[in-house]
Amino acid sequence: MAGLTKKGIGGFLARQGILVAFAVFIIGFTIANPRFIDPDNVMGVLRSSAILGVMALGVTFVVISGNLDLSVGSMMSFSTIVVLDLHDKIGPALAIPAMFAMTLALGAFIGFLVGYLKLNSLIVTLGMLSAIHGLTLTYSGGKNMDIDDKEGTWFSVFGQGDALGIPIPILLFALVAVLLGAMLSKTPFGRKVYAVGGNGTAATFSGIRRARTVFMCYLISAFCVAMAGLIQASRSLGSQNTVGQGLELEVLAAVILGGASLLGGSGTIFKTVIGVLILGFIQNGLLLVGLQFYVQFVVTWIIIILAVWLDIAAKRGKLWSPIA
């Protein structure tokens, strides 16, 4: 590392600071409660991170393209409720595609508003958060959704099954991560997503159909949400209609932790996966140390602020903002 100036080390730390902090956390948690690195515990964390993780993959596309999606939490509630409900009405084989179609329709609507009508994505998805929540409540009649015959259905395989010793949710997460990762980093579409997020004007000047690219990102996000809903529904075979509430912030935290810039144009699927894992292990560690569940909220808050702050600080070269 010869030639690293003071600035260089500072910059390095800022970029890798999250990994460093994470390493510190792991050591700290393990000392506090050795169960932390117990294989069963690790597997448990991975399994429960899968749902959040799949959603984070889709949101990564949206964020790289320069937008936000705060509706993923309530959209996931919607997906879960719908598939559970349809499972008993038209059977799982039809319920799953139907649910995907409905979720994608929601995603298409949002994609249309943000991509083609060019409305502000923060406010639109905030509004959709409420609208979809209302939709879910109306659909479920305010009640919880349960499958009648929990033992006899193959539907549970997605959330509870195993293949080659690895829980299916983890496999699904990995599969979607590989597919979306390849799409983002190796296909022309992925290139366009980076361009639109990096400099939307230049992307248009280069002949990229910006509206269409943004629209597709929201479709991808909706697909991932549907997948997450599937896993969740399959795992518990019953659900409250608020199951996804608040997930949008955790997903965002994971994406930001992974180093994606909220301004758009940077981030990768791999880094988001790391962010998801870091978040999952931190939350698990906090629980094992005996802290209350809701402490996670506070910790996630601090993580979001710190991660974005350090990212901005690294870009402008100064830790503190120049605002007078």
Partner 1 sequence: MQAGTLSKYLKSGAIWGFIVLELIFFSIAGEFLAVSDKAFMDADNMLLLFKQSAPIGIIAMGMTIIMVNGNIDLSVGAIYAICAIVLLDSMTWPMFAGLGDWVIPVAWALALLTGILLGALNGLIVWKTGVDAFIVTLGSMLGYRGLVFMYNGEQPTSHLNWTLVDFAEAQFMGLHTATWFLLAVTVAIWFLMNRTVHGRNAYAIGNNREAAVNAGIRIGPHMMINFMIIGFLAALSAVVFYSESGSVNPNDGQLYELWVITAVVLGGTKLTGGAGSIISTFGGVVAIQLLRKGLAHIGADTSTVNLVIGLILIVVLFLDRQLNVKGKEELKI
Partner 2 sequence: MTAQTPVLRLEGIVKTFPGVRALDGVSLIILPGEVHALMGENGAGKSTLMKVLGGIHQPDEGQIIVDETPVIMSGPLDAKAKGIVFIHQELSLADELSVAENIYLGELPQKHFGLVDWSELEAKTNAILEKLKVSFDAKTRVGDLSIANQQMVEIARALTVDAKAVIFDEPTASLTDAEKVVLFEVISDLQKQGVGIAYISHRMEEIFKITDRISVLRDGQYQGTVNTADTNEEGVTQMMIGRKLDLSRNESHHELGDVALEVRGLSCGNLYKDVSFEVRRGEVVGFYGLVGAGRTEIAETLFGLRNPSSGTILMDGEEVRIASPYDAIERGISLVPEDRKGQGLVLGMNCRDNMTLPQVDDLKSGPFVADGAEIAIFDQYRDKLDIRTPGWKQLVGNLSGGNQQKIVIGKWLSMRPNVLIVDEPTRGIDVGSKAEIHNLLRDLAAQGFAVIVISSEMPEVLHVADRIVAMYSGQIMRTFTSEEVTEENLIAAISGLDTEEVA
The SS3 assignment for 166 reads strand
CB closer to partner 2, 51 vs 195: 195
- Interface with partner 2, residue 198, by CB under 8 A: yes
Residue of 93, 105, 130, 187 that binds partner 1 (CB under 8 A): 130
Question: Could you tell me which residues come within 8 angstroms of residue 319 by beta carbon, excluding any fewer than 6 positions away?
Answer: 313
Residue of 150, 186, 316, 318 that binds partner 2 (CB under 8 A): 186
Question: Could you tell me which residues come within 8 angstroms of residue 108 by beta carbon, excluding any fewer than 6 positions away?
Answer: 215, 218, 219, 222
Which DSSP symbol is given to 151? S
Residue of 16, 187, 292, 321 that binds partner 2 (CB under 8 A): 187
Which DSSP symbol is given to 148? S
CB closer to partner 2, 107 vs 200: 200
CB closer to partner 2, 87 vs 192: 192
For residue 79, how far is the Cα from the chain centroid? Answer: 15
The two beta strands, 166-167 and 162-163, are antiparallel
Residue of 199, 240, 242, 245 that binds partner 2 (CB under 8 A): 199
59 and 69 Cβ atoms separated by less than 8 Å: yes
Residue of 201, 290, 294, 320 that binds partner 2 (CB under 8 A): 201
Judged by CB under 8 A, the stretch of 5-13, 181-189, 269-277, 306-314 that binds partner 1 is 306-314
CB closer to partner 2, 164 vs 323: 323
Tokens of 141: 């009649």
Which DSSP symbol is given to 161? -
- Interface with partner 1, residue 127, by CB under 8 A: yes
CB closer to partner 1, 270 vs 309: 309
User: How open is the CA angle 279-282-285, to the nearest 5 degrees?
Assistant: 150
**DSSP secondary structure string for all residues of 223-261:** HHHHHHHHHHHHHHSEE-TTTTTTHHHHHHHHHHHTT--
Judged by CB under 8 A, the stretch of 79-87, 98-106, 112-120, 226-234 that binds partner 1 is 112-120
The binding site for partner 1 (CB under 8 A) comprises 113, 117-120, 122-124, 126-138, 142, 200-201, 204, 210, 246, 249, 252, 262, 292-298, 300-302, 304-305, 308-309, 312-313, 316, 320-324
